Amino acid sequence: MKLHHVIESQQFSLPLLHELFQTAQRMEKVVARGGTKDYSGKIMASLFYEPSTRTRFSFESAMIRLGGRCISTESAREFSSIAKGETLEDSIRVINGYADVIVIRHNEVGAAKRAAAVSQIPVINAGDGIGQHPTQALLDLYTIQKELGNIDGLKIAMVGDLAQGRTVRSLTYLLSKFERVKIYFVAPETLKMKEDILQHLEEHNIWYAEETDLTKVAPEVDVVYQTRIQKERFGDRIEDYERSRGIYIIDPSILKLMNKRSIVMHPLPRVDEITIDVDTDQRAAYFRQAQNGLFVRMALLSMVLG
Amino acid sequence: MKLHHVIESQQFSLPLLHELFQTAQRMEKVVARGGTKDYSGKIMASLFYEPSTRTRFSFESAMIRLGGRCISTESAREFSSIAKGETLEDSIRVINGYADVIVIRHNEVGAAKRAAAVSQIPVINAGDGIGQHPTQALLDLYTIQKELGNIDGLKIAMVGDLAQGRTVRSLTYLLSKFERVKIYFVAPETLKMKEDILQHLEEHNIWYAEETDLTKVAPEVDVVYQTRIQKERFGDRIEDYERSRGIYIIDPSILKLMNKRSIVMHPLPRVDEITIDVDTDQRAAYFRQAQNGLFVRMALLSMVLG
Amino acid sequence: MKLHHVIESQQFSLPLLHELFQTAQRMEKVVARGGTKDYSGKIMASLFYEPSTRTRFSFESAMIRLGGRCISTESAREFSSIAKGETLEDSIRVINGYADVIVIRHNEVGAAKRAAAVSQIPVINAGDGIGQHPTQALLDLYTIQKELGNIDGLKIAMVGDLAQGRTVRSLTYLLSKFERVKIYFVAPETLKMKEDILQHLEEHNIWYAEETDLTKVAPEVDVVYQTRIQKERFGDRIEDYERSRGIYIIDPSILKLMNKRSIVMHPLPRVDEITIDVDTDQRAAYFRQAQNGLFVRMALLSMVLG
C-alpha cells in the first residue's frame, strides 16, 4: 500500500494498519541482527520546533537502524529563520532540497498538515501542539496487539488527562476501527474526554463509559492506559492542575485488582502517576511500549521512503 | 587547482570559479544517483556560534551526500567553552584533533580568518557577522550561470538592504571578475551600497547605477536579486527599519514588467518582500537557488578535502 | 578484560589501564589509516545535561572514527522530559531502547552511577557535577605515559584550583596506583586539595607535598599540570575567585625553570593561566593531550561495546 505523508491517525485504514504492524514486526528482526543498510543513501531532517529529546532520539535511532542519516535541530523555533519572519511553508520548501523525509514537531495545531501541503518529500508528524501525535498512537496500538495478541474485543481504561492528552485522543480514533472494543474513560471532572471524540465513538457504535473510580474499572480491563497530568497544558490554571494530580495513581494496590494477563501502558514521561514499585511487575508494559516506538517508526520510515 | 580554506569571495579567481562550477555540476549528478561514499572516512565539524538551521542543514546534507559524517553544534556561543573564557583559536586547535574540516558561522567579522590562521584542517566560512558569507555568493553566482547560461554581459538589479546585506556585497565582488556586467543598486537612501564596494567597481571598470525606482529597473535586467530588510541588523534604529520595509516588494505587477527569460533571486529567508503569488511563476528562482547551495557546498567540501 | 560501565577512575586497575592504553595506541593507527567500520551497526547516545561541546565532539568523533553513529542532545536539562518531571532513571531506561551505549554528562554528583544502575547498555560518565570525569583522567594518564614513556617514578605538580577541579582529583586517584610517584599540590590557601584525597595518598604511601611557590616546584617535576580557576564553581564567592586568579601563570619565565624533557599539561579550556607564547614550545603538551582524548575514548567505546 502507498504511504506518503503521516499526518494524523485517521488516515490509517485497517489494511494499512495491518501492513504497518507486519513491517514493524519485521523491523524487530532487523534490529536484532544489527540493522540494515537498505536506506544508506537517505537523509531524514528532524525539524523540532518544540523540544522532545525522547521522540527525536526514537526517530533518529529508527533512521540510523535503517542505514540512513540525520540532520537535526532540537529547537527550531528559537534557532531557525522563523525568528526572522519566515513562514513554515518556506522552511519546508528549502529543506526539500536537503533531505528525503522530514519529521516535524511543532507547537501549533495543523502545522504538520501545512508542511505536507507544500512538501514533495514525505512529512511525518511527530506531534503538533495539542493536535495529533499519530506515531505515538500507532506504537500504542502495536503494543496492544503485540502484548495481547489481538485488538478486537479489547477492554481498555484510559486514565488521567483525557481532555488535553493528544495521545489518548489519537488512540481512541484508531481503536474505533476495531471490533467489539470497550473503552472506559477515567478522568477528573475537569479533564474528561471531549465531546467530539465521544460523538465519534457513538457514530461508530463503540461501547464506552465515563467513570471516576479507577478501582472499579481496573479489574474489568485488559489495558490500563495511564497518562500524565500535563502541567504545561494548564497554563495559569494552577488550581485545576493541583486538583487533578494524584487522583489516579497506579500502585501495587491497583495492580492487585488487575487481571494476571492485563497490562499497564503509559506514553511517558511519567512523573508520579505510576509508582516505581510497579516497574518490576511483568504487567508494566510502558518501557516495552517505548521500545516499540523504534520498530513502528522504522516501519513508517521504510514505508514512506519506499 | 588547490583550495584549502574558504574564507572570502575575493579569493576565488575566474579559473577557480570555473572549476568549482564544473564540480558543482558533477555533484548534481552524484545527488541524482543517490550520493557517493567517496568521503566516508571524513568528519565535518559544524561550529555555529550564530544559529542558522538553514545553512547548517545545507552543509550537513552536502557532507552526508558525499558519504561523510558530521559533528554539530547549533549554538556554540551559548554552549561552548567560550562561556568559560576560551579563545576561538584554542577551540579551533582542539577541534583539529576531532574533525577533517570545520564549517564555522560566527557573529564577529573576521572570525573565520582567525580560525583559518591556526587551523591545519580546512576552514569554511559560513558567515561571520556582517562580514563575508562566501558560499552564499558562490551559490548565487552558480545559480545565475545555470539559469541564464552565462555571466558575462549580465544585467542585474540588487534590491533592498544593500548597506548591511553581506550576500549582495560578496556577490558584487564576484561579479566584478566578469565581462560587461551591469549592476543596478536599488535601495532606500539609508540602505545604499557602501562606498568601498562602489569604489571597487570603479577600479575594475564595472558599470553600475544607483536607482530608487524598481519599476524603472525591472524591465532592464536579467536578474532581480531581492533581499530582506534585516531587522536584527538595525539594533534599536526601529524607525530606520520601519521606513525601509515595504518600499520594494516583488509581486505580480513587478513580474509583468520583467523579461520573459529573466529571473527573481533571493538568498532567503524572505518575509514579505516577495509575495507568495510570485512563487508559481517559472521565473521565481529562489527555491532552486537554495537547492543549488547543496551542490556548491558539496563541490567546495570535495575540493578542500581533496 | 571485561569493561561495562565507565563511572569513576577508581574502577580502573593497573591491568585494565594497561589494556586501555594498548588499545588507545592501536586506535592511533586506526585513525591514521582513516578509521574503521567495525562498529557500523552501533549507536551512541550523547546525553549532555550540562553543555560541553568539546567533550561531546571528542566522544562523537571517537564513535564515528570507529564506524558508529550518534544521536545527540546538547542541553538535555533544558530540553528533555526532565522539565516535565521525569527521573533520570526513566530517561535512561527509554534510551536503552534506542542506543547501544550512553555517554552522559550531568550537573549532579553521582548521576552517572544512578544511570548505570538501571541501564542494560554501557554508560560512560563524561563528567557529573564536581564529581568524577574519568575519561579526562584516563586521557591525562595516557598522555603522561606517551610523552614521558613511563608513569612509575613520575614527579608531577598539580596547579591551581585543586579543591574544586574534578580532573586533578580523578588523576590523583589514578596516580596512586603507580610506583614511586611524587605529587606537589600547588594552590592558593582557599583552593587546596581536599582532605579525602590527601588521606587516600597517605593510605597508599604516595609521597606528596603542599606548596604555594610554583617557581620552587617547577624545576623539580616532569609534569606541570595547570588548571583553570573555574569561575562557575565559585557561585557568588566573587572575592575568593578574584583572589585566586592570576597567582599561578605558566609563561616563558616558568618554562625557563623547567627541565628540557618535562611537559606542561592542561585539561582545557584555558583562559589566561597559560600565556599563548608558551604554545609554540615543544613542552606545551595540552593540545596533544586533547587529541589523545580521541584515542582513549575510541579505546573505551570499543572495550564497552565488545
B231 interfaces chain A, CB cutoff of 8 Å: yes
In this complex, the chains that touch A, judged by 3 or more CB pairs closer than 8 A, are: B, C
pLDDT score recorded for residue B82: 61
- Asked if A227 and A269 count as a contact pair (C-beta separation under 8 A), the reply is no
State the sign of the Cα–Cα–Cα–Cα dihedral C53, C57, C63, C68.
Answer: positive
Compare CB distances from C94 to A54, A232, A272 and report the shortest one's residue.
A54
Contact B71/C51, CB-based, under 8 Å? no
Asked whether the predicted pLDDT for residue B80 surpasses 70, the reply is no
- Asked if A158 and A225 count as a contact pair (C-beta separation under 8 A), the reply is yes
pLDDT score recorded for residue B83: 64
C-alpha A142/C-alpha A55 separation (Å) is 17
**Residue B274's beta-bridge partner residues?**
B250
Question: Which tens digits make up the pLDDT trace of C250-271?
Answer: 999 999 999 999 999 999 999 9
Question: Which tens digits make up the pLDDT trace of B36-45?
Answer: 999 999 999 9
pLDDT score recorded for residue C50: 82
Task: Kindly provide the ipTM of the predicted complex, given to two decimals.
Answer: 0.94
pLDDT score recorded for residue A83: 64
B268 interfaces chain A, CB cutoff of 8 Å: yes
pLDDT score recorded for residue A234: 77
Is residue C282 helix, strand or coil?
coil
pLDDT score recorded for residue A130: 78
C-alpha C233/C-alpha B274 separation (Å) is 51
Question: Which tens digits make up the pLDDT trace of A132-176?
Answer: 899 999 999 999 999 999 999 999 999 999 988 888 998 999 999
pLDDT score recorded for residue B81: 59
C-alpha A232/C-alpha A238 separation (Å) is 10
- Asked if A128 and A194 count as a contact pair (C-beta separation under 8 A), the reply is no
pLDDT score recorded for residue C80: 55
Q: Is B53 a catalytic residue?
A: no
B41 interfaces chain C, CB cutoff of 8 Å: yes
Contact C35/B41, CB-based, under 8 Å? yes
Instruction: Count Cα neighbours of C148 within 13 Å in the Cβ-side half-sphere.
Output: 25
Torsion angle of the four alpha carbons C113, C114, C115, C116, in this order, in degrees rounded to the nearest 10 = 50
| Mean pLDDT within B109-129 | 96
**Contacting residues of B for C139, CB less than 8 Å apart:** none
A76 interfaces chain B, CB cutoff of 8 Å: yes
Question: Which tens digits make up the pLDDT trace of A270-299?
Answer: 999 999 999 999 999 999 999 999 999 999
What does R_g of chain A's alpha carbons equal in angstroms? 19
Helix axes C286-305, B88-95, angle to 10 degrees: 40
pLDDT score recorded for residue A123: 98
A22 interfaces chain B, CB cutoff of 8 Å: no
Question: Which tens digits make up the pLDDT trace of A237-251?
Answer: 888 777 778 889 999
Q: Is C266 a catalytic residue?
A: no
Average pLDDT score over chain A: 93
Of A138, A135, A145, A133, the residue nearest A263 (C-alpha): A145
Element (H, E) at A263: strand A263-265
pLDDT band at B121 (very low <50, low <70, confident <90, very high): very high
| Mean pLDDT within B270-298 | 97
C-alpha C60/C-alpha C270 separation (Å) is 22
C-alpha angle A104-A109-A115 in degrees, rounded to nearest 5? 40
Contacts of B100 (CB under 8 A, 6+ apart): B42, B43, B44, B68, B121, B122, B305
Asked whether the predicted pLDDT for residue B184 surpasses 90, the reply is yes
Compare CB distances from C74 to B79, B81, B93 and report the shortest one's residue.
B79
pLDDT score recorded for residue B78: 61
**Contacting residues of B for C143, CB less than 8 Å apart:** none
Asked whether the predicted pLDDT for residue A119 surpasses 80, the reply is yes
Contacts of B149 (CB under 8 A, 6+ apart): none
Asked whether the predicted pLDDT for residue A79 surpasses 60, the reply is no
Question: Which tens digits make up the pLDDT trace of B58-78?
Answer: 999 999 999 999 999 987 776
Distances (CA, A) of A127 to A56, A160, B196: 11, 19, 50
Choose, from C5, C114, C133, C166, the residue flagged as catalytic. Answer: C133
**Contacting residues of A for B76, CB less than 8 Å apart:** none
C-alpha C299/C-alpha A150 separation (Å) is 47
Distances (CA, A) of A159 to A96, A164, B278: 40, 12, 50
Element (H, E) at A211: strand A207-211
C-alpha B8/C-alpha B214 separation (Å) is 30
Residue type, C287: F
Q: Is C172 a catalytic residue?
A: no
- Asked if B263 and B283 count as a contact pair (C-beta separation under 8 A), the reply is yes
C-alpha A276/C-alpha A130 separation (Å) is 28
pLDDT over 90 for what percent of chain A?
79
pLDDT score recorded for residue A81: 59
Q: Report, as residue numbers or ranges, the catalytic residues of A.
A: 54-55, 84, 105, 133
pLDDT score recorded for residue B88: 93
Question: Which tens digits make up the pLDDT trace of B208-260?
Answer: 999 999 999 999 999 999 999 877 777 788 887 777 788 899 999 999 999 99
Over C40-107, what HEC string results? CCCEEEEEECCCCHHHHHHHHHHHHHCCCEEEEECCHHHHCHHHHCCCHHHHHHHHCCCCCEEEEEEC
pLDDT band at A82 (very low <50, low <70, confident <90, very high): low
Average pLDDT score over chain C: 93
- Asked if C145 and C175 count as a contact pair (C-beta separation under 8 A), the reply is no
Choose, from C5, C42, C65, C105, the residue flagged as catalytic. Answer: C105
pLDDT score recorded for residue C83: 64
Q: Which stretches in chain C have pLDDT values below 50?
A: none
- Asked if A294 and A59 count as a contact pair (C-beta separation under 8 A), the reply is no
pLDDT score recorded for residue A225: 98
| Mean pLDDT within A260-276 | 95
B93 interfaces chain C, CB cutoff of 8 Å: yes
- Asked if B152 and B180 count as a contact pair (C-beta separation under 8 A), the reply is yes
- Asked if B167 and B133 count as a contact pair (C-beta separation under 8 A), the reply is yes
Of C31, C102, C110, the residue nearest C71 (C-alpha): C102
Asked whether the predicted pLDDT for residue A262 surpasses 70, the reply is yes
Of A106, A33, A29, A39, the residue nearest A69 (C-alpha): A39
Smallest CA–CA separation between B60 and chain C, in Å? 14
Question: Which tens digits make up the pLDDT trace of C26-47?
Answer: 999 999 999 999 999 999 999 9
